[in-house]
Amino acid sequence: KEQVAIITGASRGIGKEVAFQLAENDVKLSLLGSSDEVHKTKQELEEKGYSNVLSFTADVCKEDDVNHVVEATKNAYGKVDILINNAGIGGFKAVEEVTVEEWKKTFEVNVQGVFLASKAVLPLMKKQNFGTIVTVASDVSRYTIPEGGSLYTATKYAVQGFMGSLAQEVRENGIRVGTVNPGMVDTYFANGTQGDPEKAEWLKVQDVAEAIVYMVQAPKHMVIDELQLHPLIQQYPR
Ligand code: NJP
């Protein structure tokens, strides 16, 4: 039976590619992004012949927005099997240059957003005794970096802890919870431009999306707790 997935941050970057790869795997989609660009993703999918796509302009920081998306997805498809917590933001600067507003906003999107979307789908997943939640965390969920990454790293450590605890909390409800921790990926992240020649050796959105699809499509009895991947050119402390 066809599965149903909600993807946060599907306007561009990794989330958009995950949408294409899950559609290719016959998964019905509900896409969420804070800008209208998310509707472009739906349009592009439809142009490729994928018709089971909903799109919502919604902010993962806002409980009402997130609940509306989950409710509308349930009404349209009758269930939610998969949640991909992908929406995230980041910037890199020295601690004394980080404003309180930036601190709050980054935690709101990267941590509270994951909490809100997970909280909203859990009742449905518990009812059906099945579900998979994959969160795009980061390589900096596992170690610290020197280049002004304190705020971003703090949010990803938080998310890793949240997901690890959640995994144990809902295991007996048949719900699988995991994280994918990519190193440098060529996207629009941190005011970047996808396709920038300087990032030719970085991970591609396809690489990360394939890892996510692998986690989601694993046999039901198997949980992939964490996948860590990085470009060969990136130094990785171990
Ligand atoms: O970045 P980008 P990525 N509510 O900027 C959406 C992690 N990661 O694909 O709001 C809802 O191309 C935004 O849509 P819109 C990173 O931390 C990356 O690289 O409409 N959606 C867009 O679709 C993040 O968790 C790297 O503009 C919101 C998407 O998020 C994930 O990968 C390394 C939103 C961002 O697309 C995807 O980021 C790493 C909101 N409030 C981890 N705010 C890397 N790229 O190097 C943003 O370790 N979005």
Q: What is the pLDDT at residue 69? A: 99
DSSP 12: S
Residues belonging to the active site: 152
Is residue 69 included in any domain, yes or no? yes
Is residue 75 included in any domain, yes or no? yes
Q: pLDDT tens digit string along 5-16?
A: 999 999 999 999
Is residue 117 included in any domain, yes or no? yes
Q: What is the pLDDT at residue 15? A: 99
Q: What is the pLDDT at residue 39? A: 98
Taking residues 138-152, report their average pLDDT.
93
Split at pLDDT 50, 70, 90, the class of 235 is confident
Q: Is pLDDT above 80 for 149?
A: yes
Is residue 25 included in any domain, yes or no? yes
Taking residues 34-40, report their average pLDDT.
98
Mutate to test the pocket of ligand 1, among 35, 64, 136 (most ligand atoms within 8 A of CB): 136
**Distance in angstroms (rounded) separating the CA atoms of residues 118 and 179:** 13
Residues 6+ apart with CB under 8 A from 32: 6, 7, 8, 9, 10, 38, 55, 56, 58, 60, 66, 69, 87
Split at pLDDT 50, 70, 90, the class of 237 is confident
Is residue 172 included in any domain, yes or no? yes
Split at pLDDT 50, 70, 90, the class of 130 is very high
Residue 130 backbone dihedrals phi, psi, to 5 degrees = -160, 145
Split at pLDDT 50, 70, 90, the class of 147 is confident
For 165, the 3-state DSSP assignment is: helix
CATH number of the domain residue 24 falls in: 3.40.50.720
Q: What is the pLDDT at residue 109? A: 98
Mutate to test the pocket of ligand 1, among 89, 110, 204 (most ligand atoms within 8 A of CB): 89
Is residue 180 included in any domain, yes or no? yes
Split at pLDDT 50, 70, 90, the class of 238 is confident
Report which protein residue has its CA nearest ligand 1's atom 36: 13
Work out which ligand 1 atom sits closest to the CA atom of 61: 41
Q: Is the CB of 186 under 6 A from ligand 1?
A: no
> Tokens 């995230």 correspond to what residue?
88
Is residue 43 included in any domain, yes or no? yes
List 136's β-bridge partners, or say none: 180
Work out which ligand 1 atom sits closest to the CA atom of 194: 12
Mutate to test the pocket of ligand 1, among 108, 185, 201 (most ligand atoms within 8 A of CB): 185
**Distance in angstroms (rounded) separating the CA atoms of residues 236 and 218:** 27
Q: pLDDT tens digit string along 169-214?
A: 999 999 999 999 999 999 999 999 999 999 999 999 999 999 999 9
Q: Is pLDDT above 90 for 65?
A: yes
Q: Is the CB of 141 under 6 A from ligand 1?
A: no
Is residue 237 included in any domain, yes or no? no
Average pLDDT over the chain reads 97
CA separation (Å) from 138 to 23, 110, 135, 149?
24, 11, 9, 12
Q: What is the pLDDT at residue 1? A: 77
Q: At what angle do helices 13-24 and 37-47 cross, to 10 degrees?
A: 30
Q: Is the CB of 90 under 6 A from ligand 1?
A: yes
Q: What is the pLDDT at residue 116? A: 99
> Tokens 């509900």 correspond to what residue?
30
As for how many domains the chain has, the answer is 1
Q: What is the pLDDT at residue 236? A: 82
ipTM above 0.90, yes or no: yes
Whether 30 and 54 have beta carbons less than 8 Å apart is answered as yes
Domain, as residue range, for 139: 4-229
